[in-house]
Structure 1
Amino acid sequence: MKFALKKEKGFSYIDEGEGEVLLLLHGLMGALSNWDDVIEEFKDRYRVIIPMLPIYDLPLLTTGVKTLTKYVHKFVKHKSLSNITVLGNSLGGHVALIYVLAHPEYVKALVLTGSSGLYENAFGGSFPRRENYDFIKQKVEFTFFDPATATKELVDDVFQTINDRHRVIRILAMAKSAIRHNMAKDLYKIHIPVALIWGKNDKVTPPEVAEEFHQLLPNSELHWIDECGHAPMMEQPEKFNSFLKQFLDKIKK
């Protein structure tokens, strides 16, 4: 991670730049560093903030997408943020959608990339071979179009995480919560501008998921990135940032 992690009042987060706020939400197996290229590109013009979501720190009974959304709101109030553009990848997109519905007065616009909330083809219900490094490597590579994006460091992090019993139980609980909390019936209520920036080769939340989001969100635009999987801001950062800049410029007017 290139940027300093700040800690206060039980929150850990990155906070770079000044101006209108871009609030970035990472995914279930994601890390703050997934957004490094976005921070680098936009910190001269925006205030880019990434809270670390407490996926592994919640009591098991309350581990779920709604609890993460409440945590995000506590963070937003703690930092006195308003007029926010929220960006979410994977589970972070799901949390962003619930947040917008619960607290529309805080959010100016929304950007979703590889978001869950409708359908996802993730690790599945269990990790039957979680001690097998090669199996985990294949699962991480599945996330990307180019398997080389799954660096040894990234695979090592995931391998370590899912071989920690405390963490893996919460990952499974969070994944089940996401599946239960389908957003299809609520998306029509979101009228703020939404940009969907999607990998054409996403196997976790495939292209038809993006098309369904586009159909159900009244004020959305859809941008495709070729040769790109589930995390466009990592795999194709220049193209992702280009679409993001277009959208941010448009909503400034």
Structure 2
Amino acid sequence: MTTLPIYQVDAFTSEVFGGNPAAVMPLEHWLPDELLQKMALENHLSETAFLVPEPAGSDADFHIRWFTPGAEVPLCGHATLATAWVLFYKLDFAQDTVRFRSKSGPLGVTRREGGWLELDFPNLAYQEQATPELLRQALPLAGEWVYFTPNDANYMVVLENEAAVRAAEPDLGLLKKLGSQGVIITAPGEQCDFVSRYFVPSVGIDEDPVTGSIHSVLTPYWAGRLGRDRLSARQLSARGGVLECRLDGDRVRIAGQAAFYMEGQVRLDSVS
């Protein structure tokens, strides 16, 4: 019988039951992808992060991968932040910055004062294009033009104000037909610089509570529009989340807090 440790942490919040819950599963070595996907489905959270130590002398400390209940994804902010919290506060990682190797290149998370953790993520390019008809049907508030982020397979829809973001009720069945593409909706915030919501039903997430990775494109967009490199953000899901963002050249710094929920063991009777 094999047992594996598992932790659950709420990311981008200072209180349990807020932010976005992520499962974190440290491994000694990689298990078959099919098994990783089954465990992510069983965990039934928007993401499960798996990590394996990198060899001594590598440019990273750990190799990290993220699975939704339906698919592996190339980048995930909240589960990376949750993973760093587990390493710092449960597994006694000694340094103040942990380095990850990932499908989206090198990532880092640094401990800051007040319990904040700061993600070092890529600055993702975006391009304007005509709104796909399917997206227009699913979200009638979408205008004639949207932005597409090819490196993270998302559409970004910019709305007029926070109230429009809160009131949006996209047709999730139609959004699912977009395939692997997710949909970000965003607008200027009333008590912060910008707000957002995120939908990606095709991979098992109708609405993600808080999504760190989409701020890799939201931050450069709003920094350019508002003329500032430091920005405050909120994600307006039912659980809600608070993020502090900073544009830093070809990188984006995304900071948030985390709240520990539980730890346990996964039992696998026939896995070696």
**TM-score w.r.t. structure 2 length?**
0.30
**TM-score w.r.t. structure 1 length?**
0.31
Could you say which structure has the higher strand fraction?
A: 2
Could you say which structure has the higher helix fraction?
A: 1
Question: Relative contact order (C-alpha < 8 Å, sep 6+): which is higher?
Answer: 2
